[in-house]
Amino acid sequence: MSLHRLASITLGVPDVVTAGAYYEEFGLSKGADGWYSTTDGGRQLRLVRSPARRLVGLSIGADSPDDLYAITRRLSRLGIDARTDGRRLVATEAVTGVEAEVVVEPRPARPAVPATAFNGPGRDERGATRAPGVVREGIVRPRKLGHVVIGSTDQETSRRFFTDGIGLKVSDEIAGVAAFMRCSTDHHNVLVQSAPVNFVHHTSWEVDDVDEVGRGATRMLEGHPERHVWGLGRHTVGSNFFWYLRDPAGNFSEYYSDLDCVVDDALWKPAVWPSGDPKSFLTWGPPMPPSFIEPEDLAALMTGAHASP
């Protein structure tokens, strides 16, 4: 009995129409109720109007009402009030203003997508066929929401809310700067990093494999080179292939594949990486642009910080 997934997020943006069009192009499907869905995760993104871009809320799936009672007790020990009706719990993280919801819901079925056959030295696994990544033509559809990353002006307090309060586990850390936390077997579902202003850094969406990362980003950049942020590369912490793009509000959205999974908590050894070590970010790929850590609108967000939350 425990937390089992990052179910959804609510993003606040100044213009929900242009942002919505971007996420439909990104591969999410808009429903009649206004939610944006992935193929395996269902309704996972909601856009609401906000003067400054921000993470309004996130929702986490849990197995049992007992999980909610345990979270309520832990939050209470931190001096944080939680509202619960036994099936749903809501509490607000005081520093960032993010509303965290935990809902009792069944674990969604996750269809296993067969691995792409790669030829290699002494291995002609594909036989007499072209690589699947070369012949694919359809639009890239994210399978699920993977993680959300927020900047916090008090990283330690925000992190404590999610770990000691909600019950996420820490998979890895960058000393004093960032905590990679999971509420599922994914290496990270929520990441809180220290920042001069509270803001949403990026959302991340799982696709089938590295070819889909490349195909998705390439298509998004056609006619929109300004959307490019950073990619294609492979992260060190989490191990995933990544390509980051920018939505019209300034939020980064990441296509990823092949993230580490922690299938047995006892076997995973969390590491603490020294702050400022570029190797913690990148195993290979283009150098990280400075605007990745400090987005170009950071100064504007700081000036208008009173408007959010």
Strands (E), the chain: 3-13, 29-30, 36-38, 42-49, 54-62, 83-84, 88-92, 99-104, 144-152, 169-174, 178-182, 190-194, 199-206, 228-234, 241-246, 252-257, 271-273
Q: What is the 3-state secondary structure (H, E, C) of 32-58?
A: CCCCEEECCCEEEEEEEECCCCEEEEE
Minimum distance from CB of 201 to Fe ion (Å)?
8
Length of the chain: 309
**Is there binding between residue 297 and Fe ion (CB under 5 A)?**
no
Residue closest to Fe ion when measured from CB atoms: 204
Candidates 186, 211, 254, 297: give the one binding Fe ion (CB under 5 A): 254
- Rank residues 173 and 254 by Cβ distance to Fe ion and give the closer one: 254
Q: Quote the Cα angle for 62-68-72, to 5°.
A: 140
| Total site size for Fe ion, rule CB under 5 A | 2
**37-45, 153-161, 167-175, 250-258 -> range binding Fe ion (CB under 5 A):** 250-258
Among 217, 284, 225, which residue's Cα sits nearest to residue 254?
217
* 191, 85 Cβ separation under 8 angstroms: no
Candidates 194, 204, 236, 253: give the one binding Fe ion (CB under 5 A): 204
Minimum distance from CB of 303 to Fe ion (Å)?
26
**49-57, 125-133, 251-259, 301-309 -> range binding Fe ion (CB under 5 A):** 251-259
**12-20, 27-35, 205-213, 247-255 -> range binding Fe ion (CB under 5 A):** 247-255
- Rank residues 61 and 146 by Cβ distance to Fe ion and give the closer one: 146
* 158, 150 Cβ separation under 8 angstroms: yes
Minimum distance from CB of 240 to Fe ion (Å)?
7
**58-66, 161-169, 205-213, 249-257 -> range binding Fe ion (CB under 5 A):** 249-257
Residues forming the site for Fe ion (CB under 5 A):
204, 254
